[in-house]
Structure 1
């Protein structure tokens, strides 16, 4: 018996050519993914603010326990000099960061009767522009939330539209690393 003759290349040669093409595409995609992963993230510049307890054991313990991810935000390098007690996360290169500061002074606006929001087991006090999104952490305008029921004040600054996930995950970390204590607002007047 003789094999039928056709106008095209042999079937085995076609299968081999397709396999080589698929392998080449897979290799190119892998190289692109590796190169993207190796691209250094732009460091986040964090300005220095008074943080008298930033070098203390409570802040060191919190910084050591910080997660690499806060929802869609990933831990980002910080520009030198990085203030003590500070860390940052970004959703993507160039995007507005989530910034954490530990060991700050009590916020001046935190007075008796100031509204607090409980997120899991942490009492948060909000400072910043009015939210357009109904008052949930991270909705609407950029805002800063202070954990006010721990041995040190911890501030988490959220970009507009970040949603509640970063503050929820940070609440879990704070609960695990810093003991709760009664909030201590300043007297009014």
Structure 2
């Protein structure tokens, strides 16, 4: 019992010293990177930008949106394309935004006007999108192959990088569904 009381503090001290002084598994050792303790850079975590609450119009909650959207909304990143998330005001919890001018995602929107199955969609990482460029101030991307439509509105000066970055979350949270013809 005395040996255990002496041995445990010695082992703990050896582990602490190995982590402080480095050695095999040290994150700075390129042959063992990723196997040691995480590097700390001293920076503070990002905070929400000090932007006003953004009012976002959302359609009424449907049973499909109520069943599908929570999984997506819970997986969205705090930062997107270098922009920090911002608070939104909407009638449902299915809206999220980043930056100023805002990038806005709304889950459970209506089928996009102008969408024709098999003709007017583009695919990014396995998700099909209908892209509406009719407004000179913004580009609206809408998924067309998920159980609910998800819309991402980008300022006109922003390229498709935010859409590409969000595609894995959308694909993981919302299963594929054959695009539906109709109004």
- 2-structure distance, mates of 1:41, 1:164: 23
Work out which of the residue numbers 82, 94, 101 in structure 2 matches 1:96. Answer: 101
Q: Does 1:172 align with 2:155?
A: no
- 2-structure distance, mates of 1:60, 1:97: 21
Residue 62 of structure 1 corresponds to which residue in structure 2? Answer: 72
CA contact (8 A) 1:69 1:75 kept: yes
The Cα shift of 1:51 comes to 4.8
Larger Rg: 1
- 2-structure distance, mates of 1:38, 1:164: 23
CA contact (8 A) 2:64 2:147 kept: no
Q: Give the count of matched residue pairs.
A: 140
The Cα shift of 1:120 comes to 0.9
Residue 41 of structure 1 corresponds to which residue in structure 2? Answer: 51
Give the TM-score, by structure 1 length: 0.64
Residue 6 of structure 2 corresponds to which residue in structure 1? Answer: none
CA contact (8 A) 2:107 2:149 kept: yes
Segments of 5+ residues of structure 1 without an aligned counterpart are 1-32, 131-139
Question: Once superposed, which parts of structure 1, at least 4 consecutive aligned residues long, lie more than 4 Å away?
Answer: 36-39
- 1-structure distance, mates of 2:115, 2:138: 18
The Cα shift of 1:168 comes to 0.5
Segments of 5+ residues of structure 2 without an aligned counterpart are 1-42
The Cα shift of 1:176 comes to 1.4
RCO higher in structure (CA 8 A, sep ≥6): 1
Q: Does 1:83 align with 2:92?
A: yes
The Cα shift of 1:60 comes to 0.5
CA contact (8 A) 1:53 1:104 kept: no
The alignment yields a C-alpha RMSD, in angstroms, of 2.7
* Aligned ranges 1:3-152 → 2 under 5 Å: 40-53=50-63, 55-79=65-89, 81-90=90-99, 95-129=100-134, 141-152=137-148
What secondary structure is seen at the aligned counterpart in 2 of 1:65? coil
CA contact (8 A) 1:118 1:124 kept: yes
What secondary structure is seen at the aligned counterpart in 1 of 2:129? strand
